[in-house]
Amino acid sequence: MLDALRALANAALSLANYAVSLIWSLFEEGKRYAVAVAKSFVAEAKSLAYGLYNEAVGTAHKLFNAVLSQATDLFNRAVKVAFDLAQDVKHWVLTQIQPIVEWVKLELAGLSKLLKQYVDGLSAQVQKILKDIGQIFAWISSYASEILAKLSGLAQFLTPAMLGRLIHVLQDMYPFLLSFLLNPLGFIVAVIKDALLTLLEYALAYGIGCDSEPLPPWPAFSFSGFGGLTPSYAPDMSGFTETGWPLDQVWVSGYTFGPGHPAVDLGCHVGDPVYAIHDGIVQEAGWSNFGYGYTVVIKGGDWWSRYAHLETIGVQLYEMVRKGQQIATANSTGNSTGPHLHLEIKYKGQYIDPLSIL
């Protein structure tokens, strides 16, 4: 009986082991199947996702191309409209300007004709002047021996100092004579330029007016020059005090004082020292764009003075200077035909003749 129970227990145990083995086999098989199904599902999902992504990218690309095509078409249309508008504006402008251009051409043609007539007339006058000068030179040559004889007789009256001064004058005149011989027309134009500039300066001054200083009367032109030596607007000099000399030696070499030229041109040599004629403060010291070249202006009390056509300037703006102090050296800068000192003096705000106090 015991053996039968033992055999039955062994059989039951074997059956249980078999059942466990079978269940484990089924579990393993189920797990493998589940993993396979999951992998298949993931692969399917991945494939579907890739498909959807590619579809979305393709759709977006098509949409972008369509928008780009529309934008390009609109841009091309806008460019065409702008180009057409520009062409219309250009045509309108040319239509409006063409009459003006034709009028300008006609005016320029007339002006050119008048200018040619003027130049031709001026050329004829210059030729006549040159002819007259040639006749003068011929006359001088014909009487050269007689002139030389008189000059030799005059030489005994000339002192060495006077001869030295004459030599300096001839040296200063040499550039003028050389300029005239090399370019007669240019020399004559340069000579009359100052008179023309004077007229233009007066026209400008009276046109814009003057608030700080009274304007001198308009110059009266005659064949002898502009105005006289004594102006009608000379101030009262009852309060006059002595002033110094602007140069070591004072002698007139060019224009004197009068309407159109409120100054005196004093002869000098390049590099001669220039002195302040009165105490004062430097108001200008440098290059002038009004024909003075390098210039210095001094204002002190009732006195005001300008020193023009300088070579170098030895003072600075707003510097205090004393009478007799060297302020510059002389030359021929600016609108000038030779070395000289252009000296202007005002007393109590009005121009005076520098020669009346030097």
Q: From CA 357, how far away is CA 190, in angstroms rounded?
A: 31
Q: Are residues 129 and 80 in the same domain?
A: yes
Domain stops at, among 138, 157, 176? 157
Residue listed under structure tokens 């550039």:
175
Q: From CA 229, how far away is CA 252, in angstroms rounded?
A: 13
> What is the pLDDT averaged over residues 161-184?
67
The secondary structure of residue 84, as a DSSP letter, is: H
Q: Are residues 36 and 118 in the same domain?
A: yes
Q: What is the 3-state secondary structure (H, E, C) of 215-278?
A: CCCCCCEECCEECCCCCCCCCCCCCCCCCCCCCCCCCECCCCCECCECCEEEECCCCCEEECCC
Q: From CA 345, how far away is CA 301, in angstroms rounded?
A: 13
Q: Are residues 106 and 251 in the same domain?
A: no
Residues 6+ positions from 282 with CB-CB distance below 8 Å:
296, 297, 298, 315, 316, 317, 318, 319, 320, 321, 327
pLDDT digits (tens, 9 = 90+) for 278-332: 999 999 999 988 889 999 999 998 999 999 999 999 999 999 999 999 999 999 9
**Number of domains the chain contains:** 2
How much of the chain, in percent, has pLDDT values that exceed 90? 21
Residue 104 domain-assigned?
yes
Residue 172 domain-assigned?
no
Q: How confident is the model at residue 338 (pLDDT cuts 50, 70, 90)?
A: confident
Residue 285 domain-assigned?
yes
Q: Does residue 317 contact residue 284 with C-beta atoms inside 8 Å?
A: yes
> What is the pLDDT averaged over residues 132-148?
68
Q: From CA 276, how far away is CA 250, in angstroms rounded?
A: 14
Q: Are residues 35 and 148 in the same domain?
A: yes
Token pair belonging to 133: 């000068």
Q: From CA 159, how far away is CA 234, in angstroms rounded?
A: 39
Q: Which helix (H) or strand (E) holds 188?
A: helix 184-208
Residue 263 domain-assigned?
yes
Q: What's the mean pLDDT when you consider all of the chain? A: 78
More confident residue, 349 or 182: 349
Residue 234 domain-assigned?
no
**Sign for the pseudo-dihedral over CA of 46, 48, 53, 57:** positive
144-155 and 2-142 helices, crossing angle to 10°: 90
Q: Are residues 151 and 209 in the same domain?
A: no
CB count within 10 Å of CB 183 equals 12
Token pair belonging to 228: 């006289």
pLDDT confidence of residue 329: 96
99: domain range?
Answer: 1-157
Q: Are residues 153 and 209 in the same domain?
A: no
Residue 222 has pLDDT above 60, yes or no: no
